[in-house]
Structure 1
Amino acid sequence: MLAVTALLAACGPDKTAAQKRAEDDRAIAQVKAAQEIKPPPKPIDPQPILFGDIQKFDLFGAGCAFAPGSSMGAVLLTREKVAYLLLDGHPVRFASDPGSAKLPLGTFSRYVGKEMALSLTRTDNVADEVTRWPGHLLVTDPYDQVVYQADGQVQCGA
C-alpha cells in the first residue's frame, strides 16, 4: 500500500521552476545552518612544563614563559618560531604568527596550531621591553571559542 501511495505521489503535476528554486533554496539554507553549528568548547588544562619535560622534548631556547596566577610553573613556552603547551603529558606545538605584535627575544603575541590558537598579551601599559611583566594567555579552538584563559606572569630569557 505504501509503495502504491509513493508511486501515485510521483505521478503528480510537475513543479514549476519557481517551486524547484524555492525547494533548492530551502535545502541550501538547511545545509548552511548545519555547517554553522559550533560544538560546545572543550576546556583544556595545560600542565606546568618542568625542566624534565624541557629535556625530554628538547624545548630549550631563548624566549618567554607564561605561568598562571601566582604559580612558578610555566604552562606556555614561546620561541621565535614556535610555542608549546603541555597537554596530557605531551607538548602541543604552535607556529608563530609573524603578523602579530612582537614580544621580547623575537617572540610574538600570537601562535597558531592544528586545532587551537593562542594569544599572549601584556596586561600592563608599560611599553618598555622588560623581561618580566603581568600577562594574559587566551587559547581558542577552531571555532574561535575560548578553551583556556588565565592571568599570570610572563618571564623572558635565554
Structure 2
Amino acid sequence: MVRIAIPAILLITTACTEAPLEAEQESENAALAERVREANDAGPPIEQVVPETIGYPDMEANDLLGLACAYAPGTSMGVRVIARETDAWMKIDGELVRFAADPGSRELPAKSRTSYNGQKYSLRLDVGGTVAEGEIEATTYEGTMWLYDRWDRVIYTGSGTTNCGA
C-alpha cells in the first residue's frame, strides 16, 4: 500500500507544479510576442527634411507656372511648395518631388487641395484668412504645410505667406 501511495503522491505533486509553469511560460511568451510586435511596428528614427526654395528656373523647366498656390514659410519669400489642381511640387535634396492630389480632400483656393501623396512622403496644406489689403487681398493668405514620412509622422512643418492665382 505504501508502494502505491508514494508514486501517487509524486504524480500529484508533479502535475501541480507543471500547471503553473505552463501558465507562466505562456504569459512570458505573450509578453515577448507583444514586444516583438511593438518593435516591428515602430518606424526608423525620424529624419527631418528641410525643403529647398523652388526657383524660377525650376518652375520654367517643369512647367509649374499657371494657376496654383505657392507656399513660402516664415518671413521668406522663397517658395517651398507649389500646389495645383492635380499635383503639388516640393524640392527636397536638390530634386523636385511630385505629389498627386487627393481628389477626395477639401478644395483650397486656385483649385488646390488639402492633401497630396507621393512615393516617399505625403503633404498636407491649409490656408487661413487673407493677409493683405486692397487689390491682392483675394490671392494672398496665411498658409501652413506639413510634410509626413511613410509612417505618417510629421517631418517638416512651416507657416507663412501663401499666394494663390495664375
Q: Structure 1 residues 26-35 or 39-48, which shifts more?
A: 26-35
Indicate the residue corresponding to 2:139 in structure 1.
131
Unpaired segments ≥5 residues, structure 1? 1-14
The alpha carbon displacement at 1:59 in A equals 2.4
Indicate the residue corresponding to 2:134 in structure 1.
none
The whole-number CA distance in structure 1 between the counterparts of 2:24 and 2:48 is 46
Q: 1:73 aligns with which of 71, 78, 81?
A: 78
Indicate the residue corresponding to 1:8 in structure 2.
none
The whole-number CA distance in structure 2 between the counterparts of 1:22 and 1:157 is 62
SS in 1 for 2:129: coil
Answer yes or no: is the 8 Å Cα contact 1:122–1:133 preserved in 2.
yes
Answer yes or no: is the 8 Å Cα contact 1:101–1:108 preserved in 2.
yes
Indicate the residue corresponding to 1:40 in structure 2.
45
Indicate the residue corresponding to 1:142 in structure 2.
150
Counterpart mapping for 1:1-150 below 5 A? 25-26=30-31, 28-124=33-129, 130-150=138-158
The alpha carbon displacement at 1:25 in A equals 3.9
The whole-number CA distance in structure 2 between the counterparts of 1:35 and 1:153 is 40
Answer yes or no: is the 8 Å Cα contact 1:104–1:130 preserved in 2.
no
Q: Structure 1 residues 132-141 or 50-59, which shifts more?
A: 50-59
Q: RMSD across aligned C-alpha pairs, in angstroms?
A: 2.5
The whole-number CA distance in structure 1 between the counterparts of 2:101 and 2:164 is 16
Instruction: Name the structure where helix makes up a greater proportion of residues.
Output: 2
Q: Aligned letter for 2:67? A: A
Indicate the residue corresponding to 2:7 in structure 1.
none
Unpaired segments ≥5 residues, structure 2? 1-17, 132-136
The alpha carbon displacement at 1:21 in A equals 6.2
TM-score norm. by structure 2 comes to 0.73
Equivalences, count: 142
Flag the structure with larger Rg. 2
